[in-house]
Structure 1
Amino acid sequence: MIVRIMGEGQVTVDKSHLAELDKLDDELLAEMESGDEAGFRRTLTALLDAVRRLGTPLPDDSLEPSELILPASDATLEEVRELLGDEGLIPG
């Protein structure tokens, strides 16, 4: 699957890693709902680091449709709330 990190670019992540990413997404959602700013920042960083670690970057000149769009690492809690669907950043 192709994942875009806003402000960084796209990476291809094998769907076998979806469970690991979904776990972090669930934690992020819980921290956002509780207003835990420190936890939110920590988990967002962990989620983006996992995508970078597990993914293979696409060339800068490549523009493929993204299955997931994740916020930039400096996104605020409010900005991420605007991106969230009913199932978090990562559906499933």
Structure 2
Amino acid sequence: MIIRILGEGQYDLSEDALPRLNELDSAVEAAVESGDEQAFATALADLLDGVRTAGVPHAADALDESDLILPPADASLEEVRELLSDEGLIPG
């Protein structure tokens, strides 16, 4: 699976990483729903760190399509609210 962090690049991750990323995604979603800016910033940073830790950088010269696209680290709560689906940022 290829996950893109906007403004940063793509990461290759195994399907085994999804359960943990879904937990982190749930924290982002809860913070957005509550409107808690501080919890949101922490949860988004944790999610992006989770992708960076579980994944390996995708070849920069590869033109492969991303399976998932995540907002950049400096995204606002409102920007992420617009990106959320019924399943959060990471389906599953």
Task: Give me the TM-score of the superposition, normalised by structure 1.
Answer: 0.96
2-structure distance, mates of 1:58, 1:88: 23
1:53 — aligned with what? Answer: 53
Q: CA deviation at 1:91?
A: 0.5
Question: 1:66: Cα distance to partner?
Answer: 1.0
Residues in 1 aligned to 2:59 and 2:27: alpha-carbon distance in whole angstroms: 31
1:65 pairs with 2:65: yes
Could you report, residue by residue, the CA deviation over 1:10-51 in whole angstroms, capped at 9, with x for unpaired residues?
A: 110111010000001011101100001100000100000110
Match of 1:4 in 2: 4
The corresponding residue for 2:76 is: 76
Which amino acid in the other structure matches residue 33 of structure 1?
E
Aligned residues: 92
Q: Deviations over 1:47-74 (max 9, x none)?
A: 0011001101012221211111000000
Q: Which ranges in structure 2 are unaligned for 5 or more consecutive residues? A: none
- 1:18 is aligned to 2:8: no
Secondary structure of the equivalent of 1:3? Answer: strand
% identical aligned pairs: 55
Tell me the TM-score normalized by structure 2.
0.96
Structure 1 segments unaligned to the other structure (5+ residues) = none
Cα separation, 2, equivalents of 1:87 and 1:63: 27
The two structures, once aligned, show a CA RMSD in angstroms of 0.7
Q: Distance in 2 between matches of 1:63 and 1:34?
A: 38
SS of structure 2 residue aligned to 1:4: strand
